[in-house]
Amino acid sequence: MFFKRIKTPGIAHAAYVIGNEGEAAVVDPRRDIDEYLAAARAEDLTIKYVIETHRQEDFVIGSAELARVTGAKIVNGRHELFGHGDIRLEDGEDFSFKGLRLRALHTPGHTPESMCYAVFIPDSPDRAWGIFSGDTLFIGEAGRTDLPDPKKTGQNAGLLYDMIHEKLLPLGDQAMLFPAHGSGSVCGGNIAERDESKGCTSGHGLTGCMQLAVSSWVFTPLMFANATLAARALFGKGAK
Ligand SMILES: [Fe+2]
């Protein structure tokens, strides 16, 4: 199995190339696709799929260009905001290629169409090895909820909180987090500087990231969304 994180300096963006047995997928590529092509070529992998977590607002996504050059199919969710997609996955639907399995999880909150993808690899077919979390959950922070519609910031924050707790945390602490952005991105206020999700706090993996995200909201009450999320975390209120 091949896995590589490819960062875009300046906008703190991260794309991922994941491959096995001669085939690869690229997650959330930027418009300049040369580095993805080179990474695949170096490993004798053919890029067959482009996977989108959401409609990116802070950079021009390279899905169409990558599909045009390689013939890859674009994989995303069912929400109309995605626009074009060759393979449209339902919430909870599995997508497999060459022994790798991705489980699509619809996780609205940052944006209505946002998807995460739990990754299951041959060595760990039953427990998620990782999660492509887009802008839903970063290392130590969650995605902004004021971008699609500032009037719905609080509502979206509640939704995001529920999605993280109901769909991501149950995947388990062994799952590594592979978000679309790192420290310095405008998509999250307090993203940690490291790339690895393991050992975020006293906890590990997802739980550690979530704990740190919640504590940053408590002490950085920049947005109503943050306050809402922090309050729900502290007092255990449901979001419905
Ligand atoms: Fe985003």
Question: Domains in the chain, ordered, with CATH?
Answer: 2-235 (3.60.15.10)
195 vs 97, 179, 190, CA distance in Å? 26, 9, 14
β-strand partners of 96: 101
Ligand 1 centroid, distance to 16 Cα (angstroms): 16
Ligand 1 centroid, distance to 203 Cα (angstroms): 26
Ligand 1 centroid, distance to 187 Cα (angstroms): 6
Residue 121 has pLDDT above 50, yes or no: yes
Mean pLDDT of the chain: 86
Phi/psi-derived region of residue 121, left when phi > 0, alpha when psi is between -120 and 50, beta in every other case: beta
Ligand 1 centroid, distance to 22 Cα (angstroms): 30
The two three-digit tokens of residue 64, written as one number: 């169409």
Ligand 1 centroid, distance to 219 Cα (angstroms): 23
- The one-letter code for the residue type at 217 is W
Ligand 1 centroid, distance to 135 Cα (angstroms): 5
Confidence of residue 192 (pLDDT cuts 50, 70, 90): confident
The kind and range of the H/E element at 171 are none
Ligand 1 centroid, distance to 3 Cα (angstroms): 22
Ligand 1 centroid, distance to 182 Cα (angstroms): 12
- The answer for residues whose C-beta is within 8 angstroms of residue 122's C-beta and 6 or more apart is 1, 20, 99, 100
61 vs 48, 58, 196, CA distance in Å? 17, 9, 24
The kind and range of the H/E element at 95 are strand 94-97
Ligand 1 centroid, distance to 21 Cα (angstroms): 31
Ligand 1 centroid, distance to 101 Cα (angstroms): 24
Q: In the chain, what percentage of residues exceed pLDDT 70?
A: 82
* Residues around ligand 1, an ion, CB closer than 5 A: 135, 187
Mean pLDDT, residues 144-160: 92
Identify which of 228, 204, 208 has the alpha carbon closest to the alpha carbon of residue 218: 228
Confidence of residue 213 (pLDDT cuts 50, 70, 90): low
0.75 exceeded by pTM: yes
Ligand 1 centroid, distance to 13 Cα (angstroms): 10
- 78-87 pLDDT, tens digit per residue, is 999 999 999 9
Please state, in angstroms and rounded to a whole number, the distance separating the CA atoms of residues 71 and 65.
Answer: 10
In the block, tokens 């940690």 appear at 192
Pairing of strands 94-97, 100-106: antiparallel
- The one-letter code for the residue type at 54 is H
Please state, in angstroms and rounded to a whole number, the distance separating the CA atoms of residues 82 and 84.
Answer: 6
β-strand partners of 138: 141
Ligand 1 centroid, distance to 56 Cα (angstroms): 5
Please state, in angstroms and rounded to a whole number, the distance separating the CA atoms of residues 182 and 16.
Answer: 13
Q: Helix (H, G, I), strand (E, B), or coil: what is residue 19?
A: strand
Write out the DSSP string of 28-73. Answer: S-BS--HHHHHHHHHTT-EEEEEE-SS--SSS-B-HHHHHHHH-PE
Residue 200 has pLDDT above 50, yes or no: no
Please state, in angstroms and rounded to a whole number, the distance separating the CA atoms of residues 108 and 123.
Answer: 30
Query: What was the pLDDT predicted at 231?
Result: 41
